[in-house]
Amino acid sequence: MINRIRSKFGKNVFFAPWDCPLSGIEPLFFIGLLEVQDIRFFLGAKDAIYVVTIPRRSVFRLIDETHLGTLMNVLTEAETEQPLGKNEVWNRKTWKVWGTPFLKELGSLVFIDYPKKDQFQYLILTEDESPEFVCYSPKIDVYQSRNGNEIMERLFEEDMRTRKQKELGCGI
């Protein structure tokens, strides 16, 4: 199980590092979103494009700096001997967070099949819009290219072919 840190921000609010290929990328920018077959977040770094894919029916939202301030409070107000500083939080780009207002807004229906320990959201901190989402296991692909548009177009075409094949297979 993940070592969770209790936040002073609210009752039953916890957070933990999410170890993934994005964890220490600096700087990291939100490039775009593609929603055809699945939901794909495109994130740009100095020498690569990262594509985070979650199932189409997953709950997500993009948060701007206003809402990000609230989440930074969740992550920096920890009940530990040495709370994390804003720089320490900001330098780690990926988190799992439990008990946030976002999760409370979603209600229990989103988590109907999730065990209690898995009722959390993923958060990716970027320099602009930051995605937060709920799903079982996001997939992260790394493209050693700096051309986000080219990668988006290629994945869009693949998704459309897959969608069309599924429609034809269903007799639609």
State residue 87 phi and psi, 5-degree precision: -65, -40
Q: Rounded to an integer, what distance in angstroms lies between the CA atom of residue 25 and that of residue 148?
A: 17
Among 61-70, 98-107, 114-123, name the one with the lowest average pLDDT: 61-70
Better pLDDT: 172 or 132: 132
Q: Which pLDDT belongs to residue 44?
A: 93
Average pLDDT over residues 161-166: 83
Helix (H, G, I), strand (E, B) or coil at 90: helix
Q: Rounded to an integer, what distance in angstroms lies between the CA atom of residue 153 and that of residue 156?
A: 5
Average pLDDT over residues 41-48: 92
Q: Which pLDDT belongs to residue 149?
A: 85
Average pLDDT over residues 61-86: 65
Q: How confident is the model at residue 15 (pLDDT cuts 50, 70, 90)?
A: confident
Residue 40: is its pLDDT beyond 70? yes
**Domain around 18:** 5-169
| Mean pLDDT over the full length of the chain | 81
Residue 100: CA count within 13 A, CB half-sphere: 23
Q: Rounded to an integer, what distance in angstroms lies between the CA atom of residue 125 and that of residue 22?
A: 10
Average pLDDT over residues 149-160: 89
Q: Which pLDDT belongs to residue 60?
A: 93
Q: How confident is the model at residue 28 (pLDDT cuts 50, 70, 90)?
A: very high
Q: How confident is the model at residue 1 (pLDDT cuts 50, 70, 90)?
A: very low
What is the tally of structural domains in the chain? Answer: 1
Letter string b/e over residues 90-103, b meaning 16 or more CB atoms within 10 A of that residue's CB? eebbbbbbbbbebb
